[in-house]
Amino acid sequence: MRYEVRYVALLDIIGFSNWILSDEDGACVAKLSAIYSEIRSSLRPYTEDVSPGWISLTLFSDMIVLSTRSEPDGTRSDQDIISEFLWCVRRICLILLKHGFLARGCVLQDSLHHDEVLVVGPAIITAHEYESKVAKYPRILVIRSLREKMERDEKLKTLLWKSADGLRYLHVLHEFEKFFRNVPDVGEQKAEQETAFRFALESRQTIDRSLSEAADRPDHFEKIRWFADYFNTSVLNVYTARSKTWVKRLEIDEYY
For residue 251, what are the contacts with CB-CB under 8 A and spacing of at least 6? 204, 232, 235, 236
Residue 37's Cβ-side half-sphere holds a number of Cα atoms within 13 Å equal to 6
Domains of the chain, CATH where assigned:
4-170 (3.30.70.1230), 174-250 (no CATH)
pLDDT, one tens digit per residue, over 193-222 is 998 888 888 888 888 888 888 889 898 899
CA distances from 106 to 119, 124, 251 (A): 16, 10, 27
Q: Give one word for 139, left, alpha or beta, with left for phi > 0 and alpha for psi -120 to 50.
A: beta
* % of residues, the chain, pLDDT over 90: 48
pLDDT at 52: 57
Residue 255 has pLDDT above 60, yes or no: no
Is 133 or 30 the better-scoring residue by pLDDT? 133
Ramachandran angles phi, psi of 31, nearest 5°: -65, -45
Nearest-angstrom CA–CA distance, 198 and 196: 6
pLDDT, one tens digit per residue, over 153-167 is 999 999 999 999 999
pLDDT, one tens digit per residue, over 67-107 is 998 888 777 889 999 999 999 999 999 999 988 889 999 99
Predicted TM-score (pTM) of the model is 0.90
